[in-house]
Amino acid sequence: MKLYCVYTPAHEILLRDWFLPSVPDGFEVIASPLQISGAGDFLSEEFLRCIRAKIALMVESIRSNRGSWILWSDVDILLHQGTKDALDLIIRDAGGRNLFFQRETRVEREVNTGFILIRCGDLTEAFFHDVGVRLELETSKNEQAVENEMLRKGVDFDWGYLPVTFVARTHGWPPPRLMDIYHANYTVGPKGVEQKIRQFKAVKAMQRFGSPAIVYFTLRRCVEKAIELIRR
């Protein structure tokens, strides 16, 4: 399965040290560099420019893979050994559904657009083309806000959610030890890359050591937060 992603210089460390080493067999990674400077923190100008460039590449990838399933992933994600098998089961049981999104939370209806399984065809190409048009007009929005608005209003194809084993930070903390992916989202404010790497280190330790690691990283983060408040 082709796995597409984009990265900027600020996020190359996530791609190189975390994302790529986590990709198991069965994926052909197509990583496109975007020469956009800046830290790339959430909703920053460079972040929004990156999103618009990403959507254009998504449309191209769908056009060039008609009839196939592809995967688009952010690079602040860790895949696991069972990820490919889990996706194959979803595709097998997809029926008429053309897109599968990660949930933003475990219970609400909002989708997270950082990890999307796509059946390539006219319907999905048109959807992401329209997302790109909206982003050019509404330059303060990111693609997740736009896509959720479009899905709420209704689209002319069926779509679904990935199982909650496709975990995001916004699903709650700590994450389960057994999961198909981990998405280090919910990094509000500056130093977003550093926040994501802290999440990755905690997740790796929790999977290896269990509850003691959860206690350690929770206490350490509480201390860090307290120090930040004192310094203000």
DSSP 196: H
Q: What pLDDT, on a 0 to 100 scale, did the predictor assign at position 37?
A: 62
Q: Which residue has the higher pLDDT, 69 or 37?
A: 69
Segment 152-175, tens digit of pLDDT: 999 999 999 999 999 999 999 889
Q: What pLDDT, on a 0 to 100 scale, did the predictor assign at position 215?
A: 73
Q: What pLDDT, on a 0 to 100 scale, did the predictor assign at position 203?
A: 93
Domain span at 212: 2-231
Q: What pLDDT, on a 0 to 100 scale, did the predictor assign at position 61?
A: 98
Pairwise CA distance, residues 205 & 164, whole Å? 21
How many domains in the chain? Answer: 1
Q: What pLDDT, on a 0 to 100 scale, did the predictor assign at position 224?
A: 67
Pairwise CA distance, residues 84 & 88, whole Å? 6
Residue 228 has pLDDT above 70, yes or no: no
Q: For the chain, give the mean pLDDT.
A: 91
Pairwise CA distance, residues 182 & 206, whole Å? 12
For the chain, how big is the Rg over CA atoms in Å? 18
Segment 32-56, tens digit of pLDDT: 999 876 655 555 666 778 889 999 9
Q: What is the mean pLDDT of residues 176-205?
A: 91
CATH number of the domain residue 82 falls in = 3.90.550.10
Q: Which residue has the higher pLDDT, 43 or 64?
A: 64
Q: Which of 68-72, 204-208, 217-221 has the highest mean pLDDT?
A: 68-72
Q: How far is CA 202 from CA 2, 18, 79, 167, 218, in A?
A: 29, 13, 15, 14, 9
Pairwise CA distance, residues 211 & 206, whole Å? 7
Name the one residue in this structure whose structure tokens are 């209806």.
Answer: 109
Pairwise CA distance, residues 168 & 105, whole Å? 8
